[in-house]
Amino acid sequence: MLNSRPPHNGALAGLYIDGQWLSGGDSLRVINPATEEQLLDVAGGDAVAVEQAVRAASAAFPAWGLSSGGERGACLRRIAAGVAARRARLIQLQARNNGKPLAEAAIDVDDVIATFTYYAELAESLDVQQDIAVALPSAEFSARLRREPCGVVGLIVPWNFPMVTTAWKLAPALAAGCTVVLKPSEVTPLPELELADIIAESGLPAGVFNLVCGTGLAVGAPLAAHPGVAKLSFTGSNAVGVQVMQRAAETIKGVSLELGGKSSLLVFADADLDLSVELACGGGFFNAGQMCSATSRVLVAAELLEEFLARLQVRAEAIRVGDPLEPGVEMGALVNQAQYQRVCRHIADGLDAGARLLTGGERPAGLSRGYFLRPTVFTEVPLDSALWREEIFGPVLCVRSFVSEQEAIELANDSEFGLVASVVSGDASRAERVANALQAGLVWINAPQVIFPQTAWGGYKQSSIGRELGPWGLQAFQEIKHVIRAL
Ligand code: NAD
């Protein structure tokens, strides 16, 4: 059994509302993508469960919203400690439900611990900042500034980093004093169910955190439309982001959106080639490429192209793809059949469009079941092809050459997205100059995709509205109030 709670009628309870575990209606079939076998069923919810959850969150809000930052910080620390105590189990759940290798699942769980700890610190710092005086150009008035929680918030998350995307929303929402209704992905509910179990044990007051598992239409849509929800924070695809925004518009809800990406890794002529190849593989094949931050466009200085491609091919073909639970496996399975088929379609369309397949593009030999794909590299990808322009969300890199710094920047910025970018160069001033010119919310220089809770997550253009992490992640769940008094 993966979760500590007993199943109800053969399905795991998928609703945690007002401090109680409840069984919903429709069963969600949860699979292990590495074996295609069913792990278990989760009894998901619907609009009625959303109504119940919003009601519970609304009832809990007045007391939680008025609690001190210190009290909320202490709760967040208990959640971080609970996650740390179940670290090994959560790593297994991430690997089994999502298909990612154990080492990557461990990074996810540690990120969750770091995020709750960071927002515990921010929550604790709020009390001394509350009601600070505002300097005014008049002796006749005084003013003070308050930061207040915005109310009941709806959090909707995808399947690629279950628990991590949740922590990036949930920790700052609780720190701010909001009460929460969380909808995890129907594809990967198990890590969030375990997290809910940890929260249930943490002593958080009933109704502050509510979880409703279910599909996008049964649960996500009514949550996005609910008039009792003050703010929505959504991570997922652009297509669903548009729908969430449209529903939120009906009651003028605030929205934070973390959506897709089509990011670039830029390799300049003075770059360390081995480092460049490692970073290209990390940016393209980590999490089997199912990352909004995948640097799936690799731009290489023309004079390096031949040698770079030769080394990239060798490295990509050496990546050990297989059972995520086997130590030493570097790339696991894609999350489900739909995603596998979607990526295969993109590969076929790329070939039709005239791109040259350097390596990969097929199931690895010896893996007859599970949603596995070989690390795939294309070159000579037409600039107007879907492979170059659209988010693939699979282990597929597209390599092109450039002749000047300006051309590299223009190629990278020529996208409707602007989430992240990576620059590899031995010339520090060039790397900094290029980083400044790239339209992206986060740029790494000669570095893997390290993420700290202190630095913001989010991007330009159609990648995001708002920023997560850092103080910006907290501010997303706060209202600003000024009180001005005549003296
Ligand atoms: P998705 O948009 O299909 O689903 C995301 C969530 O929205 C799920 O919980 C889903 O059930 C729910 N949903 C679906 N339809 C809905 C509706 N009509 N109303 C409300 N909710 C609905 O995305 P996915 O396939 O789960 O995840 C992959 C996508 O997520 C990719 O496009 C990726 O780029 C994006 N993503 C972005 C970031 C980021 O930080 N920018 C991070 C991770 C994933």
The single residue listed with the structure tokens 């360390």 is 272
Mean of all residue pLDDT scores within the chain:
97
**CB of 430 closer than 8 Å to CB of 405:** yes
Choose among 459, 453, 461, 457: nearest CA to 76.
Answer: 453
Query: Catalytic residue at 258?
Result: yes
For 354-377, the pLDDT digits (tens) are: 999 999 999 999 999 999 999 999
AA letter at 299: L
5: confidence class by pLDDT, cuts 50, 70, 90:
low
Ligand 1 centroid from CA 235, angstroms: 5
Give me 458's structure tokens.
């989010």
Q: How far apart are CA 404 and CA 221, in angstroms?
A: 47
pLDDT surpasses 80 at 41 = yes
Number of other CB atoms surrounding residue 126 within 10 Å: 19
Q: How far is CA 72 from CA 148, 176, 205, 474, in A?
A: 13, 8, 10, 13
Predicted pLDDT at 1:
40
* DSSP code for 242: H
Strands 179-183 and 132-133: unpaired
Domains, the chain, with CATH or none? 2-259+464-486 (3.40.605.10), 264-452 (3.40.309.10)
Nearest CA to ligand 1 atom 22: 216
DSSP secondary-structure letter at 374? Answer: -
Ligand 1 atom 16: residue of nearest CA? 216
Burial of residue 352 (CB within 10 Å: 0-12, 13-18, 19+) is exposed
CA nearest ligand 1 atom 34, residue: 260
Of the candidates 150, 178, 292, 398, the residue annotated as catalytic is 292
Pocket test for ligand 1, best of 160, 334, 462 (most atoms within 8 A of CB): 160
Is the pTM higher than 0.95? The answer reads yes
Structure tokens, 350: 């790329």
Name the DSSP class of 220: I
Cβ 121 vs Cβ 147: under 8 Å: no
Q: Measuring CA to CA, which residue among 354, 13, 22, 56 is closest to residue 179? A: 56
In the reported structure, the alpha carbon of residue 223 is separated from the centroid of ligand 1 by a whole-number distance in angstroms of 14
71: CB partners within 8 A, 6+ apart: none
Reported as a single tens digit per residue, the pLDDT across 442-480 is 999 999 999 999 999 999 999 999 999 999 999 999 999
* Catalytic (active site) residue 398: no
